[in-house]
Structure 1
């Protein structure tokens, strides 16, 4: 058994402890590969930094599961399983961070295009809640057009929350949001999160 296959089996064993069901949503024809097995395969790809489905399917050639999935089916089911993966991720985070008392919060700019092109940009303009805008990153002294990526991480490097906001949202407003998620803990942050009204 290869290291890759051993890693896959270990991930599958741990996921079966967390997940309530083998299959997460109704399918008229029972698939050869259960949803929990497919999620294990997706986690394996992330763990091994395999970002190509072609490469992943080449690497698992010879596994017991190799004949039970093809690339187009893998992609389609992967998209449908996203909300269920998020539930599993949250259960894993709760398990890993159960006794954690220190968390780090920070944000970074995600530039969609240069500010000079922002008026012509059509990226994510279809829906109101996803519209990007102009913001400022003090640590890089940078005006940018796009979004901000906010993350909360434990001292042991387990991300408990990752969110996107328009670039103009100040870090303090995100801090108000995570106050609802975290309690009885110390949150470490840079001076961009300092506020006399939030303690």
Structure 2
């Protein structure tokens, strides 16, 4: 795992199979360091838990340093965020094309400590993306920042991801999910309980929302064990994102930088799952493992 260049070449090999080279709209000529190479380096650094650009550029060989500067790398990476999401979706489609069961959940992402929230200027470059104060019931945590909403398959591959201010309730994410998946069963926790939205999802796109009932509800029935067991998969993914990919550590100052960092970490995880499955034919969720 400590061999940066070998890991980089492996990830770049995968990217070249599933994506084409492209130029950003403002680029008039082909840069020395191509877009796919830049994305590959970014995913490699996330896989190897190199979370600082300064630390990454200290470890790069002269052959790469001669092609791109750190500030240019950072700007181009933010501009490639849409291309990065396309790559993630292409990889996910290799796993989830015929999937019938998905899991939905959210996790808190702090941008700074709650005590600094009033004077913080982080991610406040545009009014529509201001962070906010929120509460995570599962962790008993009040925090300042954003909420990461995700949908993954029961095998553990992310299908859909989105960010919202921390104060937005989980259930509002289900209104946006209708354009992304259909004809499936969606497993959720009690935070997504809503008979109105449950009916709407079924009528509009044939999504069967399955949530555990509260004990004081009429005609209470316990959620099937298989659903309760499978829902733990997304909790494991969150733990991997927090541990190896350090998704809760924030160095970004702008929302575009924050969004790029989060998406890059999730794409890196999905890429390693692809390598595990289609190159080494092993358990896709063994993330702390050699890919050389």
Contact 1:105 1:151 in 2 (8 A): yes
Task: State the partner residue of 2:28.
Answer: 28
Contact 2:105 2:189 in 1 (8 A): yes
Superposed, which structure 2 residues align to 1:126-137 within 5 Å? 127-137=126-136
Which structure has more relative contact order (CA 8 Å, sep 6+)? It is: 2
CA distance in 2 between counterparts of 1:153 and 1:26 reads 35
For 1:125-160, what per-residue CA distance to the aligned partner results, in whole angstroms no more than 9, with x for missing partners? 553322344444332344555432212222232222
Q: RMSD across aligned C-alpha pairs, in angstroms?
A: 2.9
Task: State the partner residue of 1:151.
Answer: 150
> Aligned with 1:173: secondary structure?
helix
- Identify if the C-alpha distance between structure 1 residues 86 and 38 changes in structure 2 by more than 3 Å, giving closer, same or farther: same
CA distance in 1 between counterparts of 2:124 and 2:11 reads 39
Contact 1:110 1:147 in 2 (8 A): yes
1:88 aligns with 2:84: no
Q: Which runs of 5 or more residues in structure 1 are unaligned? A: none
Contact 1:23 1:36 in 2 (8 A): no
For 1:82-126, what per-residue CA distance to the aligned partner results, in whole angstroms no more than 9, with x for missing partners? 222222222222223223222221122345553x77666655555
Tell me by how many angstroms 1:70 deviates.
3.0
- Identify if the C-alpha distance between structure 1 residues 122 and 45 changes in structure 2 by more than 3 Å, giving closer, same or farther: closer
CA distance in 1 between counterparts of 2:53 and 2:180 reads 34
> Aligned with 2:84: secondary structure?
helix
Task: State the partner residue of 1:9.
Answer: 9
Tell me by how many angstroms 1:34 deviates.
1.3
Task: State the partner residue of 2:160.
Answer: 161
Tell me by how many angstroms 1:17 deviates.
2.1
Task: State the partner residue of 1:193.
Answer: 192
CA distance in 2 between counterparts of 1:35 and 1:67 reads 16
TM-score, reference length from structure 2 = 0.57
- Compare the two structures and name the one with the higher strand fraction: 1
Task: State the partner residue of 2:212.
Answer: none
> Aligned with 1:165: secondary structure?
strand
- Identify if the C-alpha distance between structure 1 residues 134 and 3 changes in structure 2 by more than 3 Å, giving closer, same or farther: closer
> Aligned with 1:148: secondary structure?
strand
CA distance in 2 between counterparts of 1:107 and 1:35 reads 31
- Compare the two structures and name the one with the higher helix fraction: 2
Moved over 6 A (4+): none
- Identify if the C-alpha distance between structure 1 residues 25 and 171 changes in structure 2 by more than 3 Å, giving closer, same or farther: same
**Larger mean Cα displacement after TM superposition, 75-84 or 38-47:** 75-84
**Larger mean Cα displacement after TM superposition, 152-161 or 184-193:** 152-161
- Identify if the C-alpha distance between structure 1 residues 76 and 125 changes in structure 2 by more than 3 Å, giving closer, same or farther: closer
TM-score, reference length from structure 1 = 0.79
